[in-house]
Chain A
Amino acid sequence: MDIFLQQIVNGLVQGSIYALVALGYTMVYGIMGLINFAHGEVVMIGTLVTITVAGSLIKAGMPVALAGLAGLSASVLVCMALGWGLERIAYRPLRNAPRLTPLITAIGMSIVLQNLAMMIWGRNYLTFPALLPKINFEVAGAHFTFIQVVIVLVSAATMGGLLALIYRTKLGMAMRATAQNPAVASLMGVNINRVIAAAFVIGSALGALAGVMVGTYYEIAHYQMGFMLGLKAFTAAVLGGIGNLAGAMLGGLLLGLIEALGAGYIGDLTGGFLGSHYQDIFAFIVLIVVLMFKPSGLFGEKTGDRA
């Protein structure tokens, strides 16, 4: 039983990180109908910027909490600028191009960002500075750390804030209108270009936050870390129904839980035949099964015929 609780805790933590990254994919998809393949690299850059900024500030003698905040804000700002730049360079000029064209530019940008990061930060694994104190808790046999609590709480608060932004503000209304019908929205006086840029910028800010969380949680970072994280988060977004904000959040949590429970129990289930290194398979198997029965994801609306 305590394994079960333990894996639930781990799954929730991992799931909230997935959810934050998945929101970046789903916002862009909801508004423009395209996969921003470079989003994972944005998250990676977010993590690495924090390492540089927070790490050097701590070395310079600044209090850890302040340095952490400075690192976080720096990475959010850098990622927002990056998201904005991505949209301008790789997506805006191609808005009326065939559907696969922006996919290739996104892949191109992803390669560019990865190699830029390798030039700046090198090929080696980097240690993420310890920004939060290491305190352990134990509830009903499940161990968890202060870091895990912070990750879950901060991502829940951020998601709440995002929902408020989308459903309570004028910008949010403009975004929803653009997602429904860009042409009509622009006739009603919505500045489509600004709305799309805002979706990229907000999504990238969430990505930066997620990047800092990943760094704090795993304590290491690498220029290739964005790829798998982005892939999983995208899977989560599709699982929940891509284009749907609540779907991305739930999809992320669900994916985290499935992975954690799967990794915890696969050995017992298969009599030791398959070990926990098959963890990554769960995400994809669940995805395939869900899509077989619900082709537009768990909470997705029926998508049109775009291929």
Chain B
Amino acid sequence: MNKWLNPRSAFGIALITIALLGLPFVAAMGGQAWVRILDFAILYVFLALGLNIVVGFAGLLDLGYIAFYAVGAYTWALLASPHFGLHLPIWAILPIGAGLACIAGVLLGSPTLKLRGDYLAIVTLGFGEIVRIFMNNLNAPINITNGPQGITLIDPVTIGGLKFSGNTQLFGLTLSGPMKYYYLLVALAILVIIINLRLQHSRIGRAWQAIREDEIAAKAVGINTRNIKLLAFAMGASFGGIAGGVFAAMQGFVSPESFSLMESIMILAMVVLGGMGHIPGVILGAVLLSILPEVLRYGVGPAQMALFGKMLVDPESLRMLVFGLALVLVMRFKPAGLWPSPERKRELSEAAK
């Protein structure tokens, strides 16, 4: 714990804190849309760190992670909206959502324990699709999810009388809805980062790493691989569930469209592009991949106007095109991710020799 008392790192932490606190006010100068983009960046940090437990720490390739996010989001939507007339408080819904997502994680994990690598990937992918198809179709004969229309008018987060939607005056500052969610999300993200950091070098974290490197050897030294793998699925899923709940409250609306396979893939791309298993790398990957398409959205159209004097191609598809190219190029020149952990970097350079 001495490192926390080191004046230099204390100074660093203070700087980061000030930057994190001030960021939404800077973003708000560009309009509330940018604050919302920040919100989503942090939500993705949260999700990517959850997935990092499964993929980065335990080495289990999960392509259906979005299913847990969906479970969390629908839990919130059903328990706090006029759809069923229920309006439970956040202290009830978030644990229920996390719990249900955790159960879903174990449900997915237990039949797939024997599978390895790509087989696991395709089963998780199938699971994600199954969840999405059910959400799309569970509006008949009993209307549970309201089908493709989704659920609207979802309650915002309310903590101790403070409603997170709309403006609030605080110490002479006007806090907009997205700004309040920003602080909530930052708090949650810091919590996840701390859990991730503590897990990484714990007994469990080392057991995950052992399974990732060689499952048979891990079993041989007495690790209960079944329970440890299930634990990875369950923990990753719970984080997904919490993130989903906040997402539903923030949006006020959920529909199956938000939980497509592409979303799972995007979160996986964040983990891999940043540097699998390395917490700062994953955070970087999540922030970059969530902000980049938005920056492109605002940048691509005007850039075309400036270059050619007219819109040559639809900016929406051009921005995704650039985004896809960016994924390819980064992986091409940084195969271990943008910010890989030092050990991994060493392993790779040794393998190349």
A interface with B by C-beta (< 8 Å): 29, 35, 89-90, 93-94, 96-105, 107-112, 114-116, 118-119, 227, 231, 234-235, 238, 242, 272-275, 277-278, 280-281, 283-285, 287-288, 291-292, 295-297, 303, 305-307
Contact = CB atoms under 8 A, between A and B. Distances in A.
A90 B129 CA distance: 26
A144 to B, nearest CB: 28
B216 A305 contact: yes
B203 interface: no
B10 interface: no
Contact of B122 (A234, A277, A292): A234
B221 interface: no
A295 B130 contact: no
Residue with the greatest number of chain B CB neighbours at <10 A, chosen from A227, A273, A278, A284: A284
B229 to A, nearest CB: 12
B261 interface: yes
Given A101-B331, A104-B272, A307-B212, A115 B321 contact: yes
Interface string B293-335: 0000000000000000000011001101101111110011001
A288 B122 CA distance: 9
For chain A, what secondary structure do more than half of its interface residues adopt (helix, strand, loop), or is it mixed?
Answer: helix
A166 B133 CA distance: 38
Given A115-B321, A307-B120, 17 more contacts: A35-B121, A94-B335, A96-B351, A97-B331, A103-B268, A104-B273, A111-B323, A112-B325, A115-B317, A115-B320, A119-B314, A119-B321, A275-B137, A291-B123, A306-B116, A306-B118, A307-B116
Contacts of B136: 277
A183 to B, nearest CB: 14
A204 B318 CA distance: 25
Contacts of A272: 141
A48 to B, nearest CB: 14
Contact of A284 (B129, B268, B320): B129
B276 to A, nearest CB: 7
B154 interface: no
Nearest to B111: A292
Given A101-B272, A116-B321, A278 B335 contact: no
A58 to B, nearest CB: 28
A297 B118 CA distance: 11
Contact of B214 (A93, A303, A305): A305
A275 to B, nearest CB: 8
Interface residues of B, number: 57
Interface in B258-300: 261, 265, 268-269, 272-273, 276
A115 B318 contact: yes
Please list the 10 inter-chain residue pairs (A to B) with the smallest Cβ-Cβ separation, ordered nearest first.
Answer: A108-B327, A284-B126, A111-B324, A97-B335, A112-B324, A108-B328, A115-B317, A115-B321, A307-B117, A108-B324
B336 interface: yes
Contact of A295 (B119, B121, B326): B119
A98 B252 CA distance: 40
A100 B212 contact: no
A192 B216 CA distance: 31
Contacts of A111: 320-321, 323-324, 327
B158 to A, nearest CB: 37
B126 A288 contact: yes
B210 interface: no
A109 B324 contact: yes
Contacts of A99: 117
Contacts of B126: 235, 283-285, 287-288
A287 B261 contact: no
B272 A100 contact: yes
A112 B327 CA distance: 10
Contact of B130 (A119, A238, A284): A284
B325 A295 contact: no
